[in-house]
Structure 1
Amino acid sequence: MTSIMTNTAAMAALQTLRSIDQNMQTTQARISSGYKVETAADNAAYWSIATTMRSDNKALQTVQDALGLGASKADTAYTGLESAVDVVSDIKSKLVAAREPGVDKEKINQELSELKNQLKSISESASFSGENWLYNASTTAPGVKEMVGSFNRASDGSVSVTTLKFDTSESVLIDTDDANRGILTRDTAVTYASGTTTTTGTYYLLNADSTTTASGTEIALTTSMSDSELDGMISAVDTMLQTLTDSASTLGAISSRIEMQNNFVADLSDTIEKGVGRLVDADMNEESTKIKALQTQQQLGIQSLSIANTNAESILKLFQ
């Protein structure tokens, strides 16, 4: 049946053209934005996952900044300790040189005084962002320093922050409140040979005028000093040197751990970003192919609609 009231062919062609136009709008939006899932309406599940992971990735970037700050603090303290080890080694060699008969102990003691001043300078200068792990002038004892290490999300959705810790009581060289809290200001008890017998002694290297002072003997040379007492000072300095070496080793391990964690967090952040991209990014090769096909379909749809409208005009010939 042919009807001038209802053009079924035109209606079908128009419906097809509308569908093509809608698909073209979707494809054009993906091309312009770069996303196949830009809003929750596009794909609620993928959009939710992507939004959560993007938020976690921002947290990881903050963790990287915190790790950089922690690395700077640890590296500063390590540099100070490394320098202190060199200076204490020099002090040890000066004391050994003073053991030789006929050596001017007063001149060597002057050199020791300058080396001690250098140790004080190193301790006070090893500061970063207001924190000094080698020098303590507070009445509060040196404590554990925490550095943000990672941001974690458990399988149940809960989140947590992992920290890296370092006990600064192991690295403080000078404490102006309590001399017993500083490696170089506290008493170091040693046992050393004195002739055919064994003698014990207590020594400290630096006098920082601490509120609570050390009770031992300061390591300093005098012309009347006996070889036995000098041997005790050498033993004490060697013990301090071992303590400094252990502390530097611990700090070196912390610095290495921070660097490894920083590299891991950077790789993890990149991996998350790539994973999110796989979920929501548009494939431009695919979308460009689609737009070409849709443009062809649109042209054919317009032509089909034009043919359907032209068919209705043929009815006029029946009345001529």
Structure 2
Amino acid sequence: MTSILTNVGAISALQTLRSINSDMATAQGRVSSGLRVQYAADNAAYWSIATTMRSENMVLSAVSDSIGLAQAIADTAYAALDTVVEHLDAMKSLFVSARSMEPVDITDFSYYSSTYFPDAGAEKRVDPKYAGSLLHKLDVDMLQHIMAINSAVDSASFNGVNLLAKPKDGVDLDDAIAAKFVVGYAQGDVQKLNVASRDLVLFNANYASYGTVAETENNTGILDGDINIKAQMPDGSWWWTSAPIDIFNSTIFDESHDNVGISVIYDLESVIQLSGFTRDSAYDHFLNEFDQKIQSVVSAQAKLGSVQHRLEMAGDFNFTLMDAYTSGIGRLVDADMSEESTRLKALETQQQLGIQALQIANSNSENVLALFR
């Protein structure tokens, strides 16, 4: 049946062309965006999973930044510890050199530190005999190493975090956390690596403010406190000195036995002579105690190295996890560009054929005119 009111062929061709155009729009969208699931309407389940995993990936990216910051903090502290150990070793060498030198008579109490003998008065004057000795020259060199260690610890700060120095805050060293590093994220929980202050703090500004001896000892940083010498008397008996040797403290620039600052060797020689100890036994015990401080710093460096390794592993795992998430998202929503380009080319051909079919269908009504001629 031929009708000029209803062209069934044109309607059919038009429906086909509309379908082809819709498929072309979909294919073009996939080619231009690279996604086969771009909106929830494309595939609600895949879109929902992909959106959630993208959110997780953003969190993991923030975790990676946090790990990078933590690594910078740890690396800064480790570099400072390297410097500290270097200067401690140099100080130990100076102590060994001092042990082999001739002692200087410094038993005049008027020149001795008022820290140990308050009756000597607050003024600390220079002992002229000691000031001209080789031991004094070692003391001058010693002070430079002490100041360098203090400077290294004070400078071991990155983004306001210093793992080696604890500020005066009244918090017990055993209860304090030097840093809390974010190392992971899973199922809504942030995973942290806590670094204990006890493991790394060289100087604790709180330790001297406690009332009891036990509290003070429990809050002593690795290089805080003094060295109490046990040495032999000429009669063969062994005694502890009543005047411990203080090396590192917060008042280093205020101490002045020789006009340049703290004089550790001067204090050690004074304790030996004023206590009547044999010099070799006193130096041996002092060096043993000092070496323990060095080993404690080395242990702290080893613990910090473990923290660095943990952060490195966390960073590697986090990147691997991000890559896995990205790959998984891609499998769900990414378009196969080879397939889409082939489909688009086929749809272009179908579109051309559909247009021709519509033209043919529309031309049928024109044939009716020939019947009326």
1:71-86, aligned counterparts within 5 Å? 71-86=71-86
Given that 2:163 and 2:200 are in contact with CA atoms closer than 8 Å, whether structure 1 keeps it comes out as yes
Q: Which residue in 1 is equivalent to 2:359? A: 306
1:234 counterpart residue number: 287
Measure, in 2, the Cα distance between the counterparts of 1:259 and 1:307.
70
Q: Secondary structure at the match of 1:163?
A: strand
Q: Within 5 Å, which residues of 2 pair with 1:201-216? A: 204-209=246-251
Task: Between 21-30 and 276-285, report the one with greater CA deviation.
Answer: 276-285
Aligned-pair CA distance for 1:204: 4.6
User: What is the 5 A alignment of 1:116-265?
Assistant: 116-141=146-171, 142=173, 143-144=176-177, 145-153=179-187, 159-179=188-208, 180-187=219-226, 204-209=246-251, 220-221=265-266, 222-223=268-269, 225=272, 226-265=279-318
Retained in 1: the 8 A contact 2:166–2:201?
A: yes
Contact 1:185 1:208 in 2 (8 A): no
Q: SS of 1:181's equivalent?
A: coil
Other-structure match for 2:256: none
Normalised by the size of structure 1, how large is the TM-score?
Answer: 0.86
Q: Give distance in 2, aligned partners of 1:25 and 1:193.
A: 97
Change (3 A) 1:109 1:150: same
Look up the match of 2:326: 273
Aligned-residue offset at 1:172: 1.6
1:181 deviates by: 2.3
Contact 2:139 2:264 in 1 (8 A): no
Q: Deviations over 1:117-172 (max 9, x none)?
A: 2211111111111121222331333521210001112xxxxx11101121122222
Distance 1:306 1:190, change over 3 A: farther
Mapped to 2, the partners of 1:93 and 1:102 lie a distance apart of 16
RMSD across aligned positions (CA): 2.5
Deviation (angstroms), 1:290: 1.3
Q: Name the stretch that deviates more: 49-58 or 102-111.
A: 102-111
> CA distance change for structure 1 residues 183 and 317 in 2, over 3 Å: closer, same or farther?
same
Taking structure 1 as reference, are residues 314 and 250 closer, same or farther at Cα in structure 2, changes over 3 Å only?
same
Report if aligned partners of 2:230, 2:240 keep a CA contact under 8 Å in 1.
yes
Give per-residue Cα distances to partners, 1:40-73, cap 9 Å, x unaligned.
Answer: 0111111111111111111111111111111111
Residues 199 and 171 (structure 1), Cα distance of their counterparts in 2 relative to 1, 3 Å cut: farther
The DSSP-based 3-state class of the residue aligned with 1:99 is helix
The alpha-carbon distance between structure 1 residues 204 and 249, as it changes in their structure 2 partners (threshold 3 A), is farther
Cα distance in 2 between the residues matched to 1:316 and 1:100: 129
Q: Distance in 1 between matches of 2:156 and 2:142?
A: 21
Aligned residues: 308
Equivalent residue number for residue 67 of structure 1? 67
Contact 1:106–1:223 (Cα < 8 Å) also in 2: no
Q: Which has the higher strand share?
A: 1
Q: Deviations over 1:70-111 (max 9, x none)?
A: 111111111111111111111122222222252643332332
Gaps in structure 1 of 5+ consecutive residues: 154-158, 211-217
Q: Secondary structure at the match of 2:194?
A: strand
What is the rounded CA distance, in whole Å, between the counterparts of 1:194 and 1:166 in structure 2?
Answer: 45
Q: Using a 3 Å threshold, how does the CA distance of structure 1 residues 192 and 45 change in structure 2: closer, same or farther?
A: farther
CA contact (8 A) 1:63 1:151 kept: yes
